[in-house]
């Protein structure tokens, strides 16, 4: 690994490239080949020069020898001519030859023929004999006759008439005693006589020996084994210095040639050596040298190719490594992670004694600088233990040694407590590499904090900061596991605030939130730190209380404490508010062995507490579940009831007390359950209200009731008012007015025949909102009445502002009217109040004559109850109205 690399300069790049073997080797090879071939050609050149030199020397040597030989021969011939001339001049031509022959002074007749011609050209004596021949026409005879040069004459090679063979004629003039021309001495010589000294061993097959006349005509030429004559040549050309071989017209063979003039005889001797033959040894050596250089080059080339291939592979591998290093350096610089490359420092010794004593920081990137606050150079001069003295104590050093020994990748999240690092949480990734480790470090403090924040948000309630549903579940599970291991108990308590909704609705959500926070704080104060108080949602809290071996009494005491804490008044917006709570508890392992069972049972117990009048706590008992299960089953069935047309409406007549006439009916719902038969509304309406299904059910009731009222009218029955109950959730529905209008429109019923009954507690939750909505309905022509009047806490002021046309005395006051003075007083008060507020008053649940009598006596306007009729199917009402109409007519 290398530290972050700076970009390499162009000069350095070329230098590095030049130093690469795969580049320098071919260059060196070219150089070497150049040297080999230059040396070879130089050597060959030298040898050529030497060979040419030798050839020139040889030809000169040959010429010297040949010249001497020819000169000797010519001198011999001339001596003979002179001798014959002398003898002929002294003794006469005929005497001279026999005398000389007798004395053995004539040359052998095989080679030479000697003749003497007289002044007329007739041969007068000859040896060997050639009688009757004349040479008067020969050129040499003419020359001698015309002039006495005192010199011999050499004629061209020719044939005599007397002799068939070709000869060279050497002649001298004969003078008479008077000094006048007396004839000529003629010596004929075979032309090959002058070239017989040709040595094959020395001159080869194409060597040349020749004698030419100064007239340029060859007297005798020998090339190899062949002798010829008579060719005319340009002697001036032949006389050139023998430096360069040249090609004569004789046979077209290039030769080194040399000539020399023999002035006495007017002859030129020529020696020549064929270039090809002279240079043959050199050519052989040249080929050998070229072959040797070629082989040496090939071997060199082969070796170099192998070395080059090897070095190219090496260079490629090095380039790959360099690129990897550059990439690593660039990547590590650009990386958001800190990189450290550490190389192990080993102790001296061998085998088991040898161990890692420290790590040297070889390389680090810029991010490492940021996370450590140390410059890279400072880090690189450090070892791990110098830099992090606590690395050994914290186990970091040993772990690095182990990773290096094992190899592979090791990673962990690490809560840092070393001041050398500027991050609280780090993610370490350590990779074991050859000779050390690479540590990659990432600052994860922010993400850790985010995760913690998210975890807290996901597991805690935003309002109170208490654990939420999911964390409560976890805590309960943990507590159960612990309790299981240690044979202990865990109590789960469901706490539901009573009347919280009322506070929320009357004082607003801010006050409601404040109340929840206060109550939560009080509950937390009541329990131990190890207990969990969580908010389940809305006004529901859950407590998880590991109990050890506490008994029922202890548990009850704790829950009572919580009840007391919650019920203490709370100051909200300067107003003192008091809420109670209902608590249901279930205990592990008795009431359930798992989380869900315990929760469900605690919930059931809480419902029982509610049923039992609130502000109390209940421990789970098995039978509670039965009603809960039934409730769940009913809820499930109710979902299908509307679609499956299982709902019915019964109608209970309302009677005018003064006239006894039916003036209206109240629509009362029934659920025709497929298995349970007719289910009463007080069993399922609260469930529908709780689940929200009341909105859909209420809409169905409205439409069905309006349709029925219209049907009766269409049947010609006297029009009556139709009362429909509106539940709190239905009343809160933003679209209530629209739904009512739609139901009326759909049925074609005039709004004046519809009356909506709302409960007293409903309109008292948010008086202003209720007034607004009621005014809207009233504006449409719909009548409104207050149901169950007397059970709530209506303020007179509020009551005055409602557009109400009728108050209904709750049947709980009617029931004991005969015996209870209180109920009588209440009934009287309600009647009186209604009248004062210009409202009509109706009593419900009238079963007896006494009740009717009392009500009539105190001015109650209308009544409704079994005394007149129970709720009945629509056809009964139809019959009832038909009857009433008939009676009236009658
Ligand atoms: N003991 C006795 N009871 C009498 C007498 N005369 C009438 N009743 C009963 O008193 C209840 C009067 O209705 P409610 O006070 O509005 O009380 C209703 C009403 O609050 C609710 N309810 C019924 N139908 C509907 C509906 O369509 N919508 C809504 N939201 N609630 C309904 O269910 C409650 C109970 O309804 P029901 O069981 O039909 O019970 C009816 C009726 O059958 C009598 O002389 N003696």
Tens-place pLDDT, residues 88-98: 888 888 888 88
Rounded to the nearest angstrom, the distance between the alpha carbon of 693 and the centre of ligand 1 is 19
Q: Which atom of ligand 1 is nearest to the CA of 867?
A: 45
Residue-level pLDDT at 788: 79
End-to-end CA distance of the chain: 118
Residue-level pLDDT at 4: 41
Rounded to the nearest angstrom, the distance between the alpha carbon of 668 and the centre of ligand 1 is 6
Residue 7 has what DSSP assignment? P
CA angle 449, 379, 319 (to 5 degrees): 100
What is the arithmetic mean of pLDDT over 54-76? 90
- Give the integer Cα–Cα distance in Å for 265 and 71: 9
Residue 2 has pLDDT above 50, yes or no: no
The CATH number that domain 335-448 falls under is 3.30.450.20
β-strand partners of 114: 127, 187
Domain over 636-889 is classified CATH 3.40.630.30: no
- Give the integer Cα–Cα distance in Å for 179 and 177: 5
From 266, 70, 255, 89, select the one nearest 183 (Cα to Cα): 89
| Residue linked to tokens 């998880």 | 544
Residue 887 has pLDDT above 80, yes or no: no
From 631, 632, 625, select the one nearest 602 (Cα to Cα): 625
Rounded to the nearest angstrom, the distance between the alpha carbon of 124 and the centre of ligand 1 is 197
- Give the integer Cα–Cα distance in Å for 451 and 782: 57
Tell the burial category of 427 from Cβ atoms under 10 Å away from its Cβ (0-12, 13-18, 19+): middle
Residue-level pLDDT at 689: 85
Rounded to the nearest angstrom, the distance between the alpha carbon of 756 and the centre of ligand 1 is 14
Instruction: Write the DSSP string, 198-236.
Output: --HHHH-SS-EEEEEETTSBEEEEEETTEEE---B--HH
Rounded to the nearest angstrom, the distance between the alpha carbon of 869 and the centre of ligand 1 is 13
- Give the integer Cα–Cα distance in Å for 812 and 790: 9
Question: How distant is the alpha carbon of residue 90 from its chain centre?
Answer: 131
Rounded to the nearest angstrom, the distance between the alpha carbon of 181 and the centre of ligand 1 is 197
- Classify 651 as helix, strand or coil: strand
Residue 61 CB less than 6 A away from ligand 1: no
Q: Which atom of ligand 1 is nearest to the CA of 846?
A: 45
Distances (CA, A) of 732 to 614, 692, 774, 795: 25, 11, 11, 21
- Classify 86 as helix, strand or coil: helix
Q: What share of the chain is helix, strand, coil (3-state, %, to 5)?
A: 50, 25, 25
Tokens of 831: 């009647």
What is the arithmetic mean of pLDDT over 340-360? 86
Pocket test of ligand 1: the residue of 650, 653, 668, 850 to mutate, having most ligand atoms within 8 Å of its CB, is 668
Domain boundaries, the chain: 16-311, 335-448, 460-620, 636-889
Residue 199 has what DSSP assignment? -
Residue 224 has pLDDT above 60, yes or no: yes
Cβ within 8 Å of residue 466, ≥6 positions away: 460, 520, 524, 533, 534, 535, 541
Residue 1: band (very low, low, confident or very high) from pLDDT cuts 50, 70, 90: very low
Domain over 460-620 is classified CATH 3.10.20.30: no
Residue 845 CB less than 6 A away from ligand 1: yes
Residue 3: band (very low, low, confident or very high) from pLDDT cuts 50, 70, 90: very low
Tokens of 431: 């990779």
- Give the integer Cα–Cα distance in Å for 382 and 362: 9
- Give the integer Cα–Cα distance in Å for 47 and 53: 9
Residue 602: band (very low, low, confident or very high) from pLDDT cuts 50, 70, 90: very high
Highest mean pLDDT: which range of 77-81, 125-129, 234-238, 820-824: 77-81
Pocket test of ligand 1: the residue of 725, 762, 846, 869 to mutate, having most ligand atoms within 8 Å of its CB, is 725
Q: Which atom of ligand 1 is nearest to the CA of 866?
A: 45
- Give the integer Cα–Cα distance in Å for 83 and 66: 25
- CATH homologous superfamily, domain 16-311: PAS domain (3.30.450.20)
Residue 727 CB less than 6 A away from ligand 1: yes
Residue 701 CB less than 6 A away from ligand 1: yes
- Give the integer Cα–Cα distance in Å for 265 and 212: 11
Residue-level pLDDT at 505: 74
Q: ipTM exceeding 0.90?
A: yes
- Give the integer Cα–Cα distance in Å for 553 and 566: 20
- Sign of the torsion angle spanned by Cα atoms 520, 522, 526, 530: positive
Q: Which atom of ligand 1 is nearest to the CA of 730?
A: 30
Residue-level pLDDT at 493: 96
What is the arithmetic mean of pLDDT over 602-628? 83
Smallest CA separation from ligand 1 atom 42, residue: 871
Tokens of 185: 């001495």
Residue 652 CB less than 6 A away from ligand 1: yes
Residue 823 CB less than 6 A away from ligand 1: no
Q: Which residue has the higher pLDDT, 358 or 433?
A: 358
487: enclosing H helix or E strand:
none
Tokens of 841: 């008053």
Would you say the CATH fold of 636-889 matches that of 335-448? Answer: no
Rounded to the nearest angstrom, the distance between the alpha carbon of 679 and the centre of ligand 1 is 13
Tokens of 13: 């790049």
Please give the backbone phi and psi of residue 556, each rounded to the nearest 5 degrees, phi first. -60, -40
- Give the integer Cα–Cα distance in Å for 94 and 123: 10
- Give the integer Cα–Cα distance in Å for 301 and 295: 10
What is the per-residue pLDDT across 516-570, written as a single tens digit (0 to 9) for each? 999 999 999 999 999 999 999 889 999 999 987 778 888 899 999 999 999 999 9
Question: How distant is the alpha carbon of residue 864 from its chain centre?
Answer: 83
Q: Which atom of ligand 1 is nearest to the CA of 757?
A: 16
Residue-level pLDDT at 162: 64
What is the arithmetic mean of pLDDT over 384-396? 90
Rounded to the nearest angstrom, the distance between the alpha carbon of 674 and the centre of ligand 1 is 22
Smallest CA separation from ligand 1 atom 4, residue: 845
Q: Which atom of ligand 1 is nearest to the CA of 667?
A: 27
C-alpha atoms less than 13 angstroms from C-alpha of 129 in its C-beta half-sphere: 2
What is the per-residue pLDDT across 133-184, written as a single tens digit (0 to 9) for each? 788 888 889 999 998 888 899 888 888 766 678 889 999 999 988 889 999 9
Residue 308 has what DSSP assignment? H
Residue 874 has pLDDT above 90, yes or no: yes
Residue 725 CB less than 6 A away from ligand 1: yes
Q: Which residue has the higher pLDDT, 525 or 813?
A: 525
What is the per-residue pLDDT across 700-741, written as a single tens digit (0 to 9) for each? 999 999 999 999 999 999 999 999 999 988 998 889 999 999
Q: Which atom of ligand 1 is nearest to the CA of 698?
A: 28
What is the per-residue pLDDT across 753-812, written as a single tens digit (0 to 9) for each? 999 999 877 777 677 888 889 999 999 999 999 987 766 555 666 778 889 999 999 888
Residue 866 CB less than 6 A away from ligand 1: yes
Smallest CA separation from ligand 1 atom 20, residue: 725
Distances (CA, A) of 341 to 6, 436, 667, 814: 18, 8, 86, 93
Pocket test of ligand 1: the residue of 638, 665, 681 to mutate, having most ligand atoms within 8 Å of its CB, is 681
Tokens of 548: 């050890």
- Classify 723 as helix, strand or coil: strand
Residue-level pLDDT at 240: 62
Residue 804 CB less than 6 A away from ligand 1: no
From 690, 466, 505, 500, select the one nearest 581 (Cα to Cα): 500
Tokens of 497: 């605030």
Q: Which atom of ligand 1 is nearest to the CA of 650?
A: 39
β-strand partners of 864: 844
What is the per-residue pLDDT across 20-56, written as a single tens digit (0 to 9) for each? 777 788 888 889 899 999 999 999 999 999 998 888 8
Residue 655 has pLDDT above 90, yes or no: yes
- Please say whether the beta carbons of 546 and 608 come within 8 A: no
Rounded to the nearest angstrom, the distance between the alpha carbon of 750 and the centre of ligand 1 is 25
Omega of the bond leading into 128 within 30 degrees of 0 (cis): yes
Residue 669 CB less than 6 A away from ligand 1: yes
Residue-level pLDDT at 712: 95
Average pLDDT, the chain: 87
Q: Which atom of ligand 1 is nearest to the CA of 788?
A: 15
Smallest CA separation from ligand 1 atom 5, residue: 845
Residue 67 CB less than 6 A away from ligand 1: no
Q: Which of 204-213, 535-544, 611-620 is the least confident region?
A: 611-620
Residue 7: band (very low, low, confident or very high) from pLDDT cuts 50, 70, 90: low
């Amino acid at each position: 690994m290398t530290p972050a690399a700076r970009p390499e300069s162009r000069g350095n790049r070329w230098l590095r490239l030049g130093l690469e073997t795969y580049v320098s080797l071919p260059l060196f090879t070219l150089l070497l080949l150049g040297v080999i071939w230059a040396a070879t050609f130089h050597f060959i050149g030298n040898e050529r020069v030497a060979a040419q030199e030798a050839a020139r020397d040889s030809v000169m040597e040959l010429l010297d020898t040949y010249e001497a030989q020819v000169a000797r021969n010519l001198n011999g011939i001339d001596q003979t001519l002179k001798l014959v001339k002398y003898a002929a001049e002294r003794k006469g031509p005929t005497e001279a030859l026999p005398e000389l022959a007798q004395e053995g002074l004539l040359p052998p007749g095989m080679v030479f023929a000697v003749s003497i011609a007289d002044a007329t050209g007739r041969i007068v004596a000859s040896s060997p004999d050639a009688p009757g021949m004349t040479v008067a026409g020969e050129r040499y005879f003419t020359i001698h006759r015309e002039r006495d040069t005192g010199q011999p004459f050499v004629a061209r090679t020719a044939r005599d008439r007397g002799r068939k063979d070709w000869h060279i004629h050497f002649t001298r003039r004969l003078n008479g005693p008077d000094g006048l021309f007396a004839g000529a001495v003629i010596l004929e010589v075979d032309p090959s006589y002058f070239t017989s000294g040709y040595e094959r061993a020395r001159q080869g097959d194409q060597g040349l020996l020749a004698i030419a006349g100064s007239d340029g005509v060859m007297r005798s030429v020998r090339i190899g084994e062949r002798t010829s004559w008579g060719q005319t040549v340009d002697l001036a050309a032949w006389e050139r210095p023998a430096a360069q071989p040249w090609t004569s017209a004789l046979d077209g063979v290039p030769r080194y040639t040399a000539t020399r003039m023999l002035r006495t005889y007017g002859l030129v001797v020529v020696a020549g050596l064929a270039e090809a033959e002279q240079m043959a040894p050199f050519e052989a050596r040249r080929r050998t040298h070229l072959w040797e250089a070629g082989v040496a080059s090939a071997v060199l080339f082969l070796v170099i190719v192998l070395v080059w291939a090897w070095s190219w592979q090496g260079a490629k591998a090095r380039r790959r490594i360099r690129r990897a290093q550059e990439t690593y350096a660039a990547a590590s610089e650009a990386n958001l992670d800190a990189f450290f490359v550490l190389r192990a420092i080993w102790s001296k010794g061998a085998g088991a004694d040898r161990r890692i004593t420290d790590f040297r920081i070889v390389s680090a990137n810029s991010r490492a600088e940021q996370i450590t606050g140390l410059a890279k150079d400072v880090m690189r001069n450090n070892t791990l233990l110098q830099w992090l003295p606590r690395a050994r104590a914290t186990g970091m050093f040993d772990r690095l040694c182990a990773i290096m020994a094992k190899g592979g990748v090791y990673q962990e999240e690490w809560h840092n407590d070393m001041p050398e690092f500027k991050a609280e949480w780090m993610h370490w990734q350590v990779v074991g590499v050859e000779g050390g480790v690479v540590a990659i470090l990432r600052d994860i403090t922010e993400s850790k904090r985010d995760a913690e924040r998210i975890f807290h948000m996901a597991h805690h309630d935003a309002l109170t900061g208490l654990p939420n549903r999911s964390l409560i579940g976890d805590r309960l599970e943990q507590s159960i596991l612990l309790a299981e291991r240690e044979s202990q108990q865990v109590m789960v308590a469901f706490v539901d605030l009573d009347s919280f909704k009322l506070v929320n609705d009357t004082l607003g959500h801010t006050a409601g939130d404040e109340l929840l926070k206060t109550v939560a704080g009080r509950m937390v104060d009541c329990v131990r730190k190890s207990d969990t108080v969580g908010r389940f949602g809305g006004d529901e809290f859950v407590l998880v209380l590991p109990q050890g071996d506490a008994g029922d009494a202890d548990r009850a005491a704790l829950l009572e404490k919580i009840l007391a804490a919650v019920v203490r008044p709370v100051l909200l917006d300067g107003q003192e508010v008091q809420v109670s709570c209902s608590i249901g508890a279930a205990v592990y392992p008795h009431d359930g062995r798992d989380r869900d069972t315990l929760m469900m049972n605690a919930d059931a117990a809480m419902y029982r507490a509610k049923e039992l009048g609130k502000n109390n706590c209940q421990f789970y008992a098995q039978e509670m579940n039965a009603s809960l299960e039934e409730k769940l089953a009913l809820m499930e069935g109710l979902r299908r009831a509307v679609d499956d047309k299982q709902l019915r409406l019964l109608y209970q007549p309302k009677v005018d007390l003064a006239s006894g006439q039916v003036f209206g009916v109240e629509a009362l719902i029934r659920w025709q359950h497929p298995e349970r038969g007719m289910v009463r509304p007080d069993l399922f309406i609260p469930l529908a209200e709780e689940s929200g299904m009341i909105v859909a059910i209420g809409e169905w009731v409205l439409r069905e009731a309006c349709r029925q009222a219209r049907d009766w009218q269409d049947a010609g029955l006297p029009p009556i008012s139709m009362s429909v109950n509106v539940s709190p959730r239905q009343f809160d529905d933003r679209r209530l007015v629209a739904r009512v209008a739609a139901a009326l429109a759909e049925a074609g019923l005039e709004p004046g025949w519809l009356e909506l009954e709302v409960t007293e507690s409903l309109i008292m939750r948010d008086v202003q909102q209720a007034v607004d909505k009621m005014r809207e309905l009233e504006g449409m022509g719909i009548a409104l009445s207050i149901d169950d009047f007397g059970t709530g806490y209506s303020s007179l002021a509020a009551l005055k502002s409602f557009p109400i046309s009728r108050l209904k005395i709750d049947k709980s006051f009617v029931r004991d009217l005969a015996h209870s003075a209180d109920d009588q007083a209440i009934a009287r008060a309600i009647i009186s109040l209604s009248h004062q507020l210009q409202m009509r008053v109706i009593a419900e649940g009238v079963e007896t004559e006494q009740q009717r009598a009392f009500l009539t006596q105190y001015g109650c306007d209308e009544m409704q109850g079994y005394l007149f009729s129970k709720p009945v199917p629509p056809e009964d009402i139809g019959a009832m109205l038909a009857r009433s109409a008939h009676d009236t007519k009658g």
